[in-house]
Structure 1
Amino acid sequence: MKNKLLIFSAVLVFSLGACTSDYEDLNSNKDNFTNKELEQDFNNVKAPIRGMQRWMYILVEDDWRGDIQFNLNADIFSGYMGTPHNFEGNNNNSTYVLLDGWNNAAWENAYRREMVNALTVKRLVESKGPKYYAWSLILKVYAMHKITDYHGPIVYSAFGSEAATVPYDSQKAVYDQFFTELKTAVDILTPFATANKESTFFVDKNDATDGTTAKGIVLKWIKFANSLRLRLAMRISNVDPIKAKAEAEAAIAGFGTIDTNADNIFYLADHPVNTYTNQWADINVGGAIASIMNGYNDPRREQYFNKSVIGTYQGIRMGTVVDDDYRTAKANQFSKIGNVVSSGQIPWFTATESHFLKAEGALKGWNMGGTPQSFYESGITTSFIQNGAGGATTYINNDVLLPADFTDPLNAVNNIVAQNLVTIKWSDAVSNEVKLQKIQTQKWLAIFPDGQEAWAETRRTGYPKLFLPTNNFSSGKIPAGTFVRRLNFPVQEKTSNPVGYAQGVQELGGVDTGATRLWWDTGVNQF
């Protein structure tokens, strides 16, 4: 694995330069398809649409880089997972040494696959086939919100420019464009779904272009766009509460959001984490999620985790220093990720997340169509049903159990007392801050294993309270006692797009390290 990472770093330097250095070559072919081809049910337009879906995650059968696209950064930072390996002599993301060779992967994939395909669709069918253009907008926003939430300012509105310098947009500007694009997509698609709720992008619902459970049904993609709009509205709620409220309330209007498990959006493929945790043994259950779920005696553990050799759900703490003895013992002592990553489905958006977003929105006084408690409890119930777990009512009404202390079976240095000391049962008597902690804790549990979204939300709200890494080897770049807030900009941007990079740092409003907060990451929750 280490050798693969070194090779990847070299390939990036010599073959990519940076995403901005070869925009012209990637995007200049505006005439991939003839008008005659476009008239044939837009068959050739389906290729870039299919590509946008397929490359949301770098799948194992295509490329090993998915391990560093999200698994060895966001999945660990979110508290979901931990690595039992001593990559780079224990100087890696887990110990807050942010590795450029790892953390460039998501950026590179997003621009060379998602943005290029989105631009191809725009040039082909924006005026001739707006339905497909709308579809590409939804996919583009879904892909790129992960990138801006990793790094902050990004190249977005100027992508495809033939200028020598490609400017960055501020994160605020990027989010404004996200909201505009999602609204545009829904406005284009709504007449089709209004006329026929079974309307599809294709003649055949089983068209292989749509590799998701949405099966090309326009109404399902409208609900996905609205759900994504609600997610992004909540993301900016602490920095721009007025706009956040307006966008959230608009998102639940019309056809609304994904509210039932029947409308969940999964990409139909084996989750790459299945390989990382089993075949490669690169990843195990994180200490934070094991602490919380063990303390709550959460029935979903059977779906989320496999038991360790001694019959327990055992996590590994972020920042653990791994020596040879530790590595030898780790295979049996720590739990691997369970059936949730071996079902042939990669979650994109589920109903349980919509319920928890509405619970927080209602807590903020937004018109979500229900109370914080009603959405909180329905969010838990929906998650239990999704994961085939029983006992939701008993779980919801438990006001005694608390997260468990964490104990490392191999090294007591990693032991730590429980941090997220909040019970499950809803109470109107507690403060809004505690209510938010309850909502976010249960949401965090429900959206597993989506570490990218979980990391973003723990940064935004501070909940659930996670374990700091046992070891922080960042040499002060991420101060002791603090959590990583972002990934550095790709190192290639400094050399191949230096003016754009400098502008990006200026828009960031701080130094280009993992300690600088993003625009929406204010550190203060708004109610």
Structure 2
Amino acid sequence: MKHLRNIILSTVSAGLVVSLAGCTNSYEDYNQDPYGVSKKETERDAYSLGAAMVNLQSWVIPTDVNTNQFTECLCGGSYGGYLSDSNAGFIGKNFAQFSPENSWNRVLFRDFLPKLSIYFNEVKSATDEPVPLAVAQIIKVAGIHRVTDAYGPIPYSKVGQNGEITAPYDSQQEVYKLMFKQLDEAIATLTANRTLNFSPKADNVYGGNVEKWIKFGNSLRLRLAIRISKADPALAKQEAEASVSNEVGVMTSNDDNAFMTLSNTNPFRVVMYEYNGGDSRIGADITTYMNGYKDPRREAMFTKSTFSRGTNGYYGLRSGIQIPGAEIAHAYSNYNVKTDTRLLWMNAAEVAFLRAEGALKNWNMGGTAGSFYKKGVELSFEQWGVKGAAAYLADNTSTPAVYTDPAGLNSYSGSVSTITIAWDDNNTVEQQLERIITQKWLAMFPLGLEAWSDYRRTGYPKLMPVKVNNSGGVVSNERGARRLAYPQEERSNNLDNYNAAVGMLGGADNMATDVWWAK
């Protein structure tokens, strides 16, 4: 029987863990024994647990630069209204124009599913202690839900121990039920052992703090509950209320925020500054909203544009366009991300907005929709180190700006939305929902896949339609992509299970078919 006190890593093994964590595509290397360390010695200093747990964490928001580029920047960034492609070489094959190549489209499916299973099983092999196992289960769900939210039905309950995904699919409804079951069990285990912290060497998010993991688990459960609130209202209400009524509860302060500390350069920094001078830029959608709101967070979040003529400011590049050459594309605002910026998984501001939406549905969230809405804005301002939240929340006249392209290429006539900032209890429920989701969207930056899910689920925030649609009429300019098509490898390597999955999907395997919770 292993003991929690044995999880403390030795100084030597700590260096090895950090080294291993820097490369997330070398699973085979972890089965080797280049230093001649015996299994008994490995268990004694928790080398295996540290390597497996840190690498499992690396597949929630991917730390690998190439993977991060495809999932967070090119896909999530474009569809979530946060980023836009600034490499003209991407024309005709990108997500924004609804025509991703299979090498782009496959990443979130073919890389995430096996890696999450591999490293989760590595944690199980490294320890039989309930606390790290429960934490690992929460981490796995945090990654898996991003895959099912992008594709719909996925292989989950029957994925092989070695990460082999040539397996039967679960319907998305069943995936969600299983994720809730796993979260419920993990949260119950951690709550019963809330004082039994584990080694910070095995945790680059909360440094082994169990109560922080309970709050994250409850907050993740609340996120998923809100996601299915139209598809399964009874289950959603049950899981949401269980999250906030747990004795430890959900995230309520920025001290609870889930950020992953990295041993290498932040991948957003590489993609947006180093790859070809930057393969992505800040999107026009988010700067248009924030310019209209005169949002003081802009300076903390973005750099100013660098056009040689005219007044420079916070001007984003419109998404889904004929991508201009680098001289123009790289002059738009960029993400103010440093080499050592930590990777955001989830923040307390998002949780406040989730509770606001739950309260809007008359669920017991511990407060009113208006109070949680205001708290969400205040938390976001505090997270970014910006003052002025009170004045911002009192603004009942400002609306998103009209987008005038500084380069004169892709302006958009009219404003996409007329929603103001100040909370009004006399507004309709739909107006209040748009206000909640819009501010939640601003506060969640740069979590593009989350923003895309909210957009598909609610229609908010309202975004500019694409100008270049290469889907052959399949995808609507106004509704945008509703999911990702399955990788071509599924039709060639897993055909029977693929065909069954398309039947579960209830529509064609293309980007216009809604996933279960968005129908």
Deviation (angstroms), 1:208: 2.4
Change beyond 3 A, Cα 1:356–1:312: same
Q: State the distance in 2 between where 1:85 and 1:358 align.
A: 39
Q: Within 2, Cα distance between the matches of 1:88 and 1:452?
A: 20
Instruction: Note closer, same or farther for the CA distance 1:346–1:402 as it changes in structure 2 (3 Å cut).
Output: same
Within the candidate set 92, 95, 98, 2:97 is matched to: 95
Q: 2:202 aligns with which of 197, 209, 213?
A: 209
Corresponding residue for residue 400 of structure 1: 397
Deviations 1:167-201 (A, max 9, x none): 000000000010000111111111221xx3xx311
By how many angstroms is 1:461 displaced?
Answer: 0.9
CA deviation map 1:227-264 (0-9, x unaligned): 00000000000111111000000011220011101111
- Kept in 2: contact 1:277–1:336 (CA 8 A): yes
Q: Name 2:225's counterpart in structure 1.
A: 233
> What is the match of residue 313 of structure 2?
312
CA distance in 2, matches of 1:343, 1:435: 37
Q: Distance in 1 between matches of 2:240 and 2:399?
A: 32
User: Amino acid of the residue matched to residue 146 of structure 2?
Assistant: K
**Cα shift at 1:500:** 1.2
Partner of 1:322: 323
CA distances 1:471-512 after superposition (whole Å, capped 9, x unpaired) = 111101213433111111111111111111111111111111
Q: Is the 8 A contact 2:404 2:411 kept in 1?
A: yes
How far 1:91 sits from its partner (Å)? 3.9
Bigger drift between 472-481 and 83-92 goes to 83-92
**1:478 is matched by which residue type in structure 2?**
V
Cα offset, 1:112, TM superposition: 3.0
Partner of 2:177: 176
1:105-504 → structure 2 map (5 Å cutoff): 105-123=107-125, 125=127, 128-160=128-160, 166-193=167-194, 196=195, 199-202=196-199, 207-212=200-205, 214-253=206-245, 254-269=247-262, 270-280=265-275, 281-309=278-306, 310-323=311-324, 326-332=325-331, 334-339=332-337, 342-504=339-501
Could you list the per-position Cα deviations for residues 381-402 of structure 1 after superposition, in whole angstroms to 9, with x for gaps in the alignment? 0100010111100000000100
What corresponds to 1:19 in structure 2?
none
Secondary structure of the residue aligned to 2:96 is helix
Q: Scaled by the length of structure 2, what TM-score is found?
A: 0.87
2: distance between equivalents of 1:26 and 1:307?
43
**Aligned-residue identity in percent:** 37
1:442 deviates by 0.3
Between the aligned partners of 1:266 and 1:345, the Cα distance in structure 2 is 6
Alignment partners' CA distance in 2, 1:89 and 1:359: 40
Gaps spanning 5+ residues in structure 2: where? 1-26
1:79 matched to 2:81? The reply is: yes
The alignment yields a C-alpha RMSD, in angstroms, of 2.4
Q: Work out whether residues 26 and 116 of structure 1, in 8 Å CA contact, stay in contact via their aligned partners in 2.
A: no
State the distance in 2 between where 1:286 and 1:63 align. 20
**Per the alignment, do residues 147 and 408 of structure 1 end up closer, same or farther by CA in structure 2, a change over 3 Å counting?**
same
In the superposition, the TM-score normalised over structure 1's length comes to 0.86
Q: Distance in 2 between matches of 1:499 and 1:382?
A: 48
| Structure 2 residue identity aligned to 1:221 | W
**Partner Cα separation in structure 2 for residue 344 and residue 164 of structure 1:** 33
Number of residue-to-residue matches in the alignment: 479
Aligned-partner Cα distance in 2 for 1:499–1:161: 21
- TM-superposed CA distance for 1:119, in Å, is 2.4
The SS at the match of 1:266 is strand
Aligned-partner Cα distance in 2 for 1:121–1:345: 23
The match for 2:48 is 44
Question: Which of residues 49, 59, 67 is equivalent to 1:55?
Answer: 59
Tell me which amino acid in the other structure corresponds to 1:134. Answer: A
Please list every run of 5 or more consecutive structure 1 residues that lacks an aligned counterpart in the other structure: 1-22, 523-527
Distance across 1 between alignment mates of 2:154 and 2:220:
19
Please say if 1:104 is aligned against 2:102.
no
Give the match's secondary structure for 1:347.
strand
